[in-house]
């Protein structure tokens, strides 16, 4: 399963989702590859030391850089500094063969990098904030998936703040309008995520043994993905 984590709206938690789902799936015994497609190299900068990431830029040549392995067991294919977007889809597909799940961290626009991710993907996962403009953008994203004949794996809410009236209005609105795609595990707004990122860690490493609702929600989404992929492969087997 090659999952494009897609939303052209910026800052909705795409990178945070890629990192924490990768960890949750790895802990459940799955082999996971993350692909940093974004020129901002945010996924790389989240979990690897900044100097190691910046050094990649000077090592970038005509081919993709080798896979980097994080101490958690998650592998990362760094495409951030590679300009040759024409070869992204083939490169992703080739590497994905060795993994149960490949998570594509898309940039915040529908540029060539994102479109290459959609070309390589077998399904799309959409994180969204429960707010007006994010909500209004969802239909366009679903239409884009249809254009690429990609099934939507799920839509889920990120950065949910139960004290915000708008969040309490839009969360049920999203759940109702997109009932066929909606994943009920909403990721709460939690200081854990920016803090872990600042410390160059995944939230699980930062939280240690302390239970955190955000990490539990990512764990639930990982379970949802595993269940859904079993259903999809059973369907394929029947065809």
Contact 161, 169 (CB under 8 A): no
Q: How far is the CB of 11 from ligand ATP (least distance, A)?
A: 4
CB under 5 to 8 A by kind: which of Mg ion, ligand ATP, none does 12 bind? ligand ATP
Angle at 193 between CA 189 and CA 197, to 5 degrees: 155
Kindly tell me which of 17 and 229 has the beta carbon lying closer to Mg ion: 17
How far is Cα 126 from Cα 155, in angstroms, rounded to an integer? 5
Check binding of 17 to Mg ion (CB under 5 A): no
Segment 40-99, which members bind Mg ion (CB under 5 A)? 42
SS3 content of the chain, % helix, strand, coil (to 5): 50, 15, 35
* Residue with smaller CB distance to ligand ATP, 224 or 232: 224
Q: Which residues contact 73 (CB under 8 A, 6 or more apart)?
A: 26, 32
Residues 6+ apart with CB under 8 A from 15: 38, 42, 43, 46, 105
Query: Which lies closer to Mg ion via its Cβ, residue 123 or residue 158?
Result: 158
Single out the residue of 3, 5, 6, 14 in contact with Mg ion (rule: CB under 5 A): 14
User: Dihedrals φ, ψ of 50, to 5°?
Assistant: -55, -40
Cβ closest to ligand ATP, residue 15 vs residue 80: 15
CA-closest candidate to residue 188, choices 137, 139, 136, 127:
127
Least CB distance from residue 108 to Mg ion, whole Å? 7
Backbone angles phi, psi at 61, to 5 degrees: -130, -145
- The CB-nearest residue to ligand ATP is 108
Selection from ligand ATP, Mg ion, none that 114 binds (CB < 5 to 8 A by kind) is none
| CB 171 to ligand ATP: min, Å | 14
Q: Per CB under 5 A, does 15 bind Mg ion?
A: yes
Residues that bind ligand ATP (CB under 6 A): 10-16, 38, 42, 108, 158-159, 187, 189-190, 193-194, 197, 214
The distance of closest approach from Cβ of residue 236 to ligand ATP in the complex, given in angstroms and rounded to an integer, is 31
Find, among 216, 200, 202, the residue nearest to 16 by Cα. Answer: 202
Residues that bind Mg ion (CB under 5 A): 14-15, 42
């Amino acid at each position: 399963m090659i999952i494009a984590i897609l939303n052209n709206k910026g800052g909705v938690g795409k990178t945070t989702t890629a990192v924490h789902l990768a960890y949750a799936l790895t802990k459940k015994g799955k082999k996971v590859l993350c692909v940093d497609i974004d020129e901002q190299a945010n996924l790389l900068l989240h979990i690897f030391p900044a100097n190691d990431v910046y050094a990649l830029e000077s090592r970038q040549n005509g081919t993709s850089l080798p896979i980097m392995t994080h101490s958690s067991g998650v592998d990362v294919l760094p495409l951030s500094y590679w300009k040759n977007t024409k070869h992204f889809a083939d490169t992703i597909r080739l590497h994905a063969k060795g993994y149960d799940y490949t998570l594509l961290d898309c940039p915040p626009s529908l540029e060539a990098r994102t479109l290459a991710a959609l070309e390589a993907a077998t399904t799309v996962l959409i994180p969204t904030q429960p707010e007006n403009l994010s909500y209004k953008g969802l239909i366009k994203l679903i239409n884009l998936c249809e254009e690429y004949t990609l099934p939507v794996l799920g839509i889920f809410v990120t950065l949910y703040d139960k004290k915000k009236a708008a969040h309490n209005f839009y969360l049920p609105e999203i759940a109702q309008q997109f009932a066929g795609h909606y994943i009920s595990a909403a990721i709460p707004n939690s200081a854990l995520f920016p803090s872990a990122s600042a410390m160059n860690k995944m939230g699980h490493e930062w939280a240690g043994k302390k239970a955190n609702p955000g990490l539990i929600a990512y764990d639930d989404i990982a379970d949802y993905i595993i269940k859904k992929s079993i259903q999809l492969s059973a369907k394929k087997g029947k065809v």
